[in-house]
Amino acid sequence: MRLKATAYAVVVGLVVLSAGTLANEVIRGDIPGGVFGEVYQCGFHPQNTVVLDGKLDDLAWVHAPWHYVDNRTGTAPAPDPDDASYQFAAVADNDWLYVAFQVWDDEIRTGENLGGDVWKDDSVEIYIDPNNGKTASYETGNGTWDSQITIGAINIGGDPEAPQLAGTGDGAGSGTRAAVVEWEKGWIVEAAVPLDLPGRWDIRPADGLRIGFNTHLNDDDDGGERDHKLIWSVKDVADQSWQNTSVFGELEFVSAFLAVDPKGKLPIYWGAIKVGRIGTQGDETR
């Protein structure tokens, strides 16, 4: 199925409407955000809960750091950022690790490859190594179960409680929920990965705790094989995360209440936009 990216009735948060920054740099939030391609700093707090609706207007997203992955960063670069690029953020409460993607994609392709082959169509991937084992192959033991969780654009408009999932390490059985919607320049994913998945892992956020983590974007332009592959982790130079956790980056939990009353913060944010810290990618306005 071919979907031309068009404007939909999606209310997008301030960070996302002004998205885009210097290529492969971190848009700081209320916490520094980590190091691009190496460590993502994830704020956790019992009240950092996100509503899975694809709108990205939750205060947690407004105050979380975002990492922008440009069109050149991966094993199959795209010709320009409107063809394929993305930014992502993550927050956690007591029960879920929430991961949001905003994808720039001028030709949304879905439906040609279903099930385990969804990676050939437009899709995003979340990688979890719960014990940060950095092993050369996936572990499957209780507490160490590594997973690639693939969420395709085929889920646009679908039920967030029952998305179609795929991925090695049985990503389809990860219990992940996801809202997937279109926006004017592509599509958005709001995913929730359970922190406690019996028989697989029990991740208990604490200051400084790190798990293995990575994100990818698959982009299909013509309905055939995948055309572009973008990758966050700087270690994953050969697209091996689907079978090798040693090339993941890391997600570090940081105690931070991000779902706060924005009074007093919006002027600071808009000031950042005005001086150009947010809103540009290199010399190009996003």
pLDDT for 81 beyond 60: yes
The model's pLDDT over 153-172, given as tens digits with 9 standing for 90+, comes to: 999 999 999 999 999 999 99
181 touches 108 (CB < 8 A) = no
pLDDT for 237 beyond 50: yes
Residue 29: predicted pLDDT: 95
DSSP string, the chain: -EEE----S----HHHHT---STT-EE--SS--EETTTEEEEEE-TT-----SS---SHHHHHS-EEEE-TTSSSB--SSTTTSEEEEEEEE-SSEEEEEEEEE-SEEE-SSS-GGGGGGSSEEEEEEETT----SS---STTT--EEEEEEGGGBTS-TTS--EE-TTTGGGS--EEEEEEETTEEEEEEEEESEETTTEE----TT-EEEEEEEEEE-SSSSS--EEEE--TT-TTS-TTT-GGG-EEEEEEE---S---TTTHHHHHHHHHTTSSSEETTEE-
Bridge partners for 152 per DSSP: 123
Residue 12: predicted pLDDT: 43
pLDDT for 284 beyond 80: no
Least confident range from 12-16, 24-28, 250-254: namely 12-16
Name the average pLDDT for the chain. Answer: 87
Please state the domain extents for the chain.
2-285
Distance CA 113, CA 120 (A): 6
| Predicted confidence band of residue 91 (pLDDT cuts 50, 70, 90) | very high
Share of the chain above pLDDT 90, in %: 79
CATH of domain 2-285: 2.60.40.1190
Distance CA 214, CA 141 (A): 20
Residue 261: predicted pLDDT: 52
| Predicted confidence band of residue 109 (pLDDT cuts 50, 70, 90) | very high
